[in-house]
Amino acid sequence: MRVLLADAFPEPHLADLVERGHDCRYEPDTTTGQLADRLSGREVLIVRSTRVPAEVFDNADALRLVIRAGSGTNTIDCAAAARRGVRVCNVPGRNAIAVAELALALLLALDRTICDNVADLRAGRWDKKRYSRARGIFGRRVGVIGLGRIGMAFAERVAALGTTVYAVAKPGRDPHTLERARAIGIRFVDDLPELARTCDVLSLHLPATDATRHLVDRDLLAHVQPGTIILNTARGDLIDEDALIEAMETKDVRAGLDVFADEPATGTGTIDSRLVKHPNVYGTHHIGASTEQAQHAVAAEVVRMVDAFASGEVLHC
């Protein structure tokens, strides 16, 4: 296969692709604007952060497969791909533990105001009294919104800290999920407003779709308790950011956010949002999946998929 790798890809797996006979063009800093040119004659595109809008498909005559080296495909215009007969595949699950670990890290950091602590010390200030008011995690009620691979990995880890995990009951959940939920001791409530009223931590683990856009909006935030911590390591679009800022002002809601509505389209750039600068927000650079372990696991699966596609196998994605 002639492959364009438009984002960083771990070296041993790139070498593996080449060894397997694939003709790889490795351009890890490709912008959306450069895609059309670099895709010329290429059958497979591998992307992580670079957005792939409809016009890319209009001009990529050889393209047959796009693999998103991550779970979500919201950065790719899948409808345009389908119109041009291009398969779009994702690699779900391989980075679930990494994302769950980041959500946990944000929770612990917010509870202990770790980032402010570190910033003060770096500035030469010692203020033990200011940082002696953490509430603690043990015994808290954590609402997990989305019990897929990542949500479940988070639920397991946060439950191990002595929290009680809650989720919204949903008809038709598969038996495996229900069994894992039982093992973790997840308690089910009827709907999101009840989850918001019950819990003092809410963690989002859903894909970005029309149905999940602004799931956390003014209406839902009206139900949260003062001081609630909201974690979003999924997609920025899940939260109405203006409504969240309001809730931070009126209810002292705090937020650990790895994702934002307006992220730079290629993984580097600038971000100018009131949210990232707000003192109640600990923000990170959409790095949930950015561990060596996760990136190796994703890349190994990408190599397998390219090989499978090359040998005519139907990809189940």
Residues that are catalytic = 235, 263, 286
Report residue 123 as tokens: 């500035």
- Determine if 228 is a binding residue for ligand MLT (CB under 6 A): no
Mapped to the 3 state alphabet, what secondary structure does 64-112 carry?
CEEEECCCCCCCECHHHHHHCCCEEEECCCCCHHHHHHHHHHHHHHHHC
Return the residue of 44, 289, 303, 306 that touches ligand MLT, per CB under 6 A.
289
Rounded to the nearest whole angstrom, what is the least distance from the CB of residue 312 to ligand MLT in the complex? 27
Partners of 87 in the β-ladder: 65
Binding mask 107-146 for ligand MLT (x = CB under 6 A): ----------------------------------------
Contact 73, 208 (CB under 8 A): no
How far is 247 from 245, CA to CA, in rounded Å?
5
Q: Which is nearer to ligand MLT, 148 or 193 (CB)?
A: 148
230 beta partners: 202, 255
C-alpha dist (Å) from residue 61 to 46, 133, 139: 16, 60, 57
What is the smallest separation between the CB atom of 78 and ligand MLT, expressed in angstroms?
14
- The residue among 155 and 248 lying less far from ligand MLT, judged by its C-beta, is 155
Q: Kindly tell me the sign of the dihedral angle through the C-alpha atoms of 249, 253, 258, 262.
A: negative
* Nearest distance, CB of residue 258 and ligand MLT, angstroms: 9
Binding to ligand MLT by residue 72, rule CB under 6 A?
A: yes
Closer by beta carbon to ligand MLT, 143 or else 288: 288
**Contact pattern from residue 82 through residue 111 relative to ligand MLT, giving x for each residue in contact according to CB under 6 A and a dash for the rest:** -------------x----------------
Q: How far is the CB of 102 from ligand MLT (least distance, A)?
A: 10
Q: Which stretch binds ligand MLT (CB under 6 A): 65-73, 79-87, 100-108, 131-139?
A: 65-73
* Tokens coding 163: 């929290």
> Dihedrals φ, ψ of 104, to 5°?
-65, -40
Q: Minimum distance from CB of 71 to ligand MLT (Å)? A: 3
CB-CB neighbours of 53 under 10 Å = 14
Q: Which amino acid, residue 229? A: I
- Which one among 30, 50, 71, 228 touches ligand MLT, defined by CB under 6 A? 71
Q: Does 286 bind ligand MLT (CB under 6 A)?
A: yes
Q: Which residue has 């003709």 as its token pair? A: 23
> CA-CA distance, 39 to 60, in Å (whole number)?
6
Taking the least distance from each CB to ligand MLT, the nearer of 219 and 262 is: 262
- Judged by the rule CB under 6 A, the positions of this chain that interact with ligand MLT are 48-49, 70-72, 95, 286, 288-289
